[in-house]
Amino acid sequence: MPQKETIRSLFDDIAPGYDRFNHVSSFQADRKWRRKAVESIADTDKPIAVLDVATGTADFAIDIARRAAAGSHVTGIDLSQGMLDIGREKVAKTGLDIELMQGDAENLNFPDGSFDRVSVAFGVRNFENLEKGLSEMMRVLKPGGKLVILELSYPENPVIRWFYKLYALRILPLIGKSMTGNGQAFRYLPASIMKFPLPERFIPMLRNVGFTTVTHRQFMFGTCRMYTSTR
């Protein structure tokens, strides 16, 4: 099965338990990390158009819409219809200006320069072609627009990394299986964290597709990283 179809099926299956797993497995830290990223996205008092890629169940899109200036609009896209179905239920209860649609990050169905901000929270490591996805996100940004990526990672300190790998590769799959019944998904997700490039490789990738200013912050010893890039 092609990778995109595998990812779509995986997230469709775990959608009902996904939010709870994120909160439990990160000891609620995922909420704090999202708030930090939202501060960088909604950093103006002017209305902005935001594209939230790999929006999932729309937690990040909702946080952005709540913080952004009046008149702002958030569009969320995701491969998984199951995740979007849950997201739409949540969005409907908020009354916020958020539109959710099924879409592929590597083939964005938007004209050049459509958005002031593009965001991705915990989804960029699932791209089949990472550079193509980054290029597409830059394409749909307006000149001077900003891309904010929040992604799980692993500590560079070897001692901390040993304990983190033990938790991520041995314990997290058990937690995920107990919450969703899908053990395979939660073997894939921690393994994908270990395969995702560290800053010394990922920052040049962002610059290679055309981003001019790239900054990096790490949280919780590097278990989560935030990349902010300007077109």
Task: State both tokens at 69.
Answer: 């200036």
Given this model, what pLDDT does residue 181 score? 77
Given this model, what pLDDT does residue 117 score? 98
- Band of residue 1 on the pLDDT scale cut at 50, 70, 90: very low
Handedness of CA 201, 202, 207, 208 (dihedral sign): positive
Q: Give me the helix-helix angle, 29-41 and 3-25, nearest 10°.
A: 110
pTM for the predicted model, two decimal places = 0.91
The pairing of strands 224-230 and 213-219 is antiparallel
Q: pLDDT digit string (tens) for 164-214?
A: 888 888 888 888 788 787 777 778 888 889 899 999 999 999 999 999 999
Residue 142 DSSP class: E
Residue 73 DSSP class: E
- Band of residue 29 on the pLDDT scale cut at 50, 70, 90: confident
Strand 224-230: give its sheet, edge to edge: 98-102, 73-78, 49-53, 115-121, 141-152, 224-230, 213-219
Q: How far apart are CA 151 and CA 219, in angstroms?
A: 10
Nearest to 56 by CA among 24, 26, 20, 25: 20
The SS3 of residue 102 is strand
Mean pLDDT of 95-119: 96
- CA angle 229/225/230 to nearest 5° reads 5
Given this model, what pLDDT does residue 2 score? 44
